[in-house]
Amino acid sequence: MCGIVGYIGSKNSAEVIYNGLEKLEYRGYDSAGIAVISDNIIQTRRSVGKLKNLKSNLDLNPISGNIGIGHTRWATHGKPSEENAHPHTDCSGKIVVVHNGIIENYVSIKKQLISEGHKFKSETDTEVVAHLIEKYYKNDILKAVKSALKEVRGAYALAVICADEPDKVIVARYDAPLVIAKGKNENFIASDVSALLNYARDVIFLENGDICEIKKDTINIFNQDVEVKRETQKILWDAIQAEKCGYKHFMLKEIYEQAQTIQDTFRGRLSSEKNVITLDDINITEEFLKEISRIYIIACGTSYHAGLTAKFLFESLASIPTEVDIASEFRYRDYVIDSKSLVIFISQSGETADTLAALRIAKQKGSKTLAICNVVGSSISREADNILYTHCGPEIGVASTKAFTGQLTVLYLLALDFATKLNTISKEKLDLLVKELWDLPVKVTECLKQSGRIEKIAKEFHLKNQFIYLARNINYPIALEGALKLKEISYIYAEGYAAGEMKHGPIALIDETMPVMVIATKSKVYEKVLSNIEEAKARGAKIIAVINANDKEISKKADYQIVVPEVDEFFSPLINVIPLQFFAYYVATMRGCDVDQPRNLAKSVTVE
């Protein structure tokens, strides 16, 4: 995920910024850059790849100045390249900008600015901000930033410097974090406090809508043109805690990030005004969909579970027959795919060897391919005909959490897009589902508040050696995913089953030593799940049920209840998986397991 560092004071800003960017390396990035002002001239250095490339560039072509901004870029709009690396400048080269987030309406702003004579040098959404500020600049950079931001929609953490006003950095925040650290006659900014801990510990976390003028000895914050005060906090975290934003593990941090990463993933692809889904990045036309024979979804592990969930979406919403296959199986199967098939590959890393090999096979067969990846520029994202990125930022915990809900978010958008193009969904249903999509981050936030209750339940069960997870229909893949999370990080043997399949064998496993986790939220199979719970209870199993508030029946039968907010059944997998992630996390930590790096597992499986 992108990182921002800025400085104003009397030190060499390039050095301070470089050191700060190094502290953000753990977030992942593909290029980096620094701009400083010296003698009213902006000097910029940018390099593709690791920070050491920027370092060599700076060693060869040193820059210095007491004010500057820097950035590590995780590509979203435009490939990783020097032109697309930040900082970005306006036409005059006097205004430079670094940005985290996504400018949703950058295409229309860019068109307008080009028609007014602005010349663009990159493919990024960020560059429009530099030109927009230039448009409004009349010797007052703060005013120009304020005017520009009135036109911008989306998420941003921004830092701006101007050659003609070398005594200030302007920063702004909306839905992307930004923090100011106060020094003595110097101030620092960063997207993440870990970049600044070596320099200062008194910090101000900006709030949405804040625009701030930072000089070396003053900080003035405005919100909706009114000057506001923000509290200063002392940060006592050590560097490692800071990387994890104070959470004990990356996995826990990533579970908590999900309300934001889901929103970041649909941002810019879902318009609030007309309920329109815009997937500009792909070329899958109405004509192709009308002739489509079948969708195949190929993936491994957690990504495979996202694919299994999507089968229900494509079949129910868009009436397209859908098959889901594990990549390592697909490779050696006699599959029937052709130019009328759409083959979707899901991969967080974009480097999984089996998924990549399957992609190459599908391409050889002449099928249309689409990848859903989290890592920009990864092999799968480069080789597929079409790519849709999840905007989750780097996932560091080996057990996948936020990438999974990001994948589901993209798949919801895709299924709704196909259903709209094929006219298989009514306007009322589409409006309803789009509205629910918008509300998902709020519902996820509600769900995250259950962590304390789940921790208590985990305490009761953490010494068990086996577990069964049950669910039906669209939540069946979530039973598989819940069981996978538990086994991979706690080393407890856990299996997910389709609840209706129990009586065909697995029920033999059930006695009073077997805990059973059941997903039992409101759905068309609610009554059926209730019967499956009765079957398990009759054999002595302890039942933990994930239910909705005001549940009348299952709450009485279950020994332990985890309450999640009610959503349309289509979105229930995305909500229901969150308590299962927490449960696995707490059980594993109580057993003393290394949750971020479980034994025998790798984050990116690049061998067959």
CB atoms within 10 A of CB 114: 13
Single out the segment in contact with ligand F6R by CB under 6 A; choices: 55-63, 82-90, 276-284, 299-307: 299-307
**CA-CA distance, 334 to 76, in Å (whole number)?**
36
Taking CB under 6 A as the criterion, the residue among 347, 381, 521, 561 binding ligand F6R is 347
Taking CB under 6 A as the criterion, the residue among 67, 300, 308, 580 binding ligand F6R is 300
If the CB atoms of residues 15 and 495 are measured against ligand F6R, the closer one turns out to be: 495
If the CB atoms of residues 6 and 307 are measured against ligand F6R, the closer one turns out to be: 307
Single out the segment in contact with ligand F6R by CB under 6 A; choices: 123-131, 214-222, 296-304, 541-549: 296-304
**Rg value, the chain, Cα:** 25
Query: Is residue 294 within 8 Å of 323, Cβ to Cβ?
Result: yes
* Burial classification of residue 115, based on how many CB atoms lie within 10 Å of its CB (0-12 exposed, 13-18 middle, 19 or more buried): exposed
Taking CB under 6 A as the criterion, the residue among 87, 301, 477, 515 binding ligand F6R is 301
Cβ-closest residue to ligand F6R? 301
Single out the segment in contact with ligand F6R by CB under 6 A; choices: 39-47, 301-309, 509-517, 559-567: 301-309
Taking CB under 6 A as the criterion, the residue among 12, 100, 122, 348 binding ligand F6R is 348
If the CB atoms of residues 300 and 344 are measured against ligand F6R, the closer one turns out to be: 300
If the CB atoms of residues 399 and 564 are measured against ligand F6R, the closer one turns out to be: 399
**CA-CA distance, 446 to 489, in Å (whole number)?**
25
If the CB atoms of residues 47 and 303 are measured against ligand F6R, the closer one turns out to be: 303
Q: DSSP letters of 105-118?
A: THHHHHHHHHHTT-
**CA-CA distance, 437 to 355, in Å (whole number)?**
28
Contacts by 479-482, CB closer than 8 A, 24 or more apart: 479/517, 479/519, 480/305, 480/308, 481/302, 481/305, 481/404, 481/577, 481/580, 482/517, 482/519, 482/577, 482/580, 482/583, 482/584
Distance, C-alpha 229 to centroid of its chain: 31
Q: Does 326 bind ligand F6R (CB under 6 A)?
A: no
Q: Measured between alpha carbons, how far apart are the two ends of the chain, in Å?
A: 28
Single out the segment in contact with ligand F6R by CB under 6 A; choices: 146-154, 217-225, 345-353, 494-502: 345-353
Query: Is residue 562 within 8 Å of 547, Cβ to Cβ?
Result: yes
- Annotation marks residue 2 as catalytic: yes
Q: Does 349 bind ligand F6R (CB under 6 A)?
A: yes
Q: What is the 3-state secondary structure (H, E, C) of 467-536?
A: EEEEECHHHHHHHHHHHHHHHHHHCCEEEEEEHHHHHHCHHHHCCCCCEEEEECCCCCCHHHHHHHHHHH
Min separation Cβ 4 and ligand F6R, Å: 27
Q: Does 490 bind ligand F6R (CB under 6 A)?
A: no
Q: Does 355 bind ligand F6R (CB under 6 A)?
A: yes
What residues from 157 to 196 belong to the interface with ligand F6R (CB under 6 A)? none
> Positive or negative, the Cα torsion across 280, 282, 283, 289?
negative
Q: Does 379 bind ligand F6R (CB under 6 A)?
A: no
**CA-CA distance, 584 to 499, in Å (whole number)?**
20
Q: Does 352 bind ligand F6R (CB under 6 A)?
A: yes
The one catalytic residue among 2, 162, 447, 593: 2
Q: Does 581 bind ligand F6R (CB under 6 A)?
A: no
Give the angle subtended at the CA of 152 by the CAs of 151 and 157, to the nearest 5°: 140
Min separation Cβ 246 and ligand F6R, Å: 23
Query: Is residue 479 within 8 Å of 496, Cβ to Cβ?
Result: yes
Taking CB under 6 A as the criterion, the residue among 303, 369, 381, 576 binding ligand F6R is 303
Min separation Cβ 43 and ligand F6R, Å: 39
If the CB atoms of residues 304 and 570 are measured against ligand F6R, the closer one turns out to be: 304
- Annotation marks residue 603 as catalytic: yes
Min separation Cβ 576 and ligand F6R, Å: 16
- Residues touching ligand F6R, count (CB under 6 A): 15
Min separation Cβ 598 and ligand F6R, Å: 9
Query: Is residue 126 within 8 Å of 157, Cβ to Cβ?
Result: no
Q: Enumerate binding residues for ligand F6R (CB under 6 A).
A: 300-303, 347-349, 352, 355, 399-400, 484, 488, 604-605
Residues annotated as catalytic are 2, 603
